[in-house]
């Protein structure tokens, strides 16, 4: 069964890279700018980030516990975790959120001290709370899916966190090259992925709290970006 899961994981990476190559064409950009194109893009993103892992779950390739959707099958526990486990994970997530936001704020300060406009370079988009939640759900579901194969093969959440992070990095680099753009991972996404992987390594995974952690970080980063934009209105951010 792990070989089948490996095929699903590889297929997800290939789809991501091919989509990036397609999106880089002028026709795709014009289509995405139209109302119909925007709807199609949102449907496609939903199908990829949530639909693909859900199909793999329905196919029995992995379990909800493997993907951090559930702690244990016990009906007496809330989603499979004890109240103590929830509180401990929430505390660790709060600490990681502080570290992640502080890292982004420090990077912003250093770039601005050097005379640059940080939030354009860091890659922080302006987004509503609903958009931040959506992007957090997509990203955490995607990253959690990439940790399933390593955790089944290695039976160790810490190594699985590193392996999942490596898969995410490889995918991002390949997608960047496919777009003929800078292949470096954007600092915001790197910080978010690192915080997610660290949370998984510390707790063994809880997708629901991980989404909340990323949403808080994205919202705080967006608020700082908005403040920076007011100070430098001529600058533009890339979404």
Ordered by start, the domain boundaries in the chain are 63-231
Show Cβ contacts of residue 97 under 8 Å, excluding neighbours closer than 6 positions.
195, 213, 216, 217, 220
239 has pLDDT over 80 = no
Non-local CB neighbours of 57 within 8 Å, separated by 6+ positions: 63, 64, 67
Split at pLDDT 50, 70, 90, the class of 236 is very low
pLDDT value, residue 108: 77
Stretch 63-79: mean pLDDT:
86
pLDDT digits (tens, 9 = 90+) for 104-148: 888 877 777 766 565 666 667 767 889 999 999 999 999 999 999
Q: Give the residue, 40 or 231, on which the prediction is more confident.
A: 40
pLDDT at residue 157 tops 90: yes
Distance between CA atoms of residues 160 and 108, nearest Å = 31
Q: Which of 99-103, 159-163, 179-183 has the lowest mean pLDDT?
A: 179-183
> Which pLDDT score is estimated for 106?
86
pLDDT at position 238 is 38
Q: Does pLDDT of 37 surpass 50?
A: yes
Contact 213, 195 (CB under 8 A): yes
Q: What's the chain's average pLDDT?
A: 86
């Amino acid at each position: 069964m792990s070989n089948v899961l490996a095929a699903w994981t590889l297929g997800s990476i290939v789809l991501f890279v091919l989509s990036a190559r397609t999106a880089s064409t002028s026709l795709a950009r014009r289509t995405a700018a139209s109302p119909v194109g925007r709807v199609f893009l949102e449907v496609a993103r939903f199908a990829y980030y949530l639909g693909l892992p859900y199909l793999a779950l329905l196919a029995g390739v992995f379990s909800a516990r493997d993907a951090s959707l559930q702690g244990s099958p016990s009906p007496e526990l809330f989603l499979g975790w004890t109240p103590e486990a929830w509180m401990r994970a929430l505390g660790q997530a709060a600490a990681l959120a502080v570290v992640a936001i502080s890292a982004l704020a420090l990077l912003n300060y250093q770039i601005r001290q050097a005379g640059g406009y940080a939030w354009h370079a860091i890659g922080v988009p302006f987004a509503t709370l609903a958009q931040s939640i959506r992007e957090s759900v997509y990203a955490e579901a995607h990253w959690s899916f990439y940790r399933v194969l390593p955790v089944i093969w290695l039976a160790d959440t810490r190594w699985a966190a590193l392996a999942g992070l490596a898969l995410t990095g490889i995918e991002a680099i390949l997608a960047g090259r496919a777009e003929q753009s800078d292949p470096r991972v954007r600092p915001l996404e790197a910080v978010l992925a690192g915080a997610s992987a660290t949370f998984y390594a510390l707790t063994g995974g809880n997708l629901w709290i991980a989404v909340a952690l990323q949403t808080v970080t994205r919202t705080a980063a967006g608020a700082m970006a908005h403040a920076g934009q007011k100070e430098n209105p001529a600058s533009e951010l890339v979404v």
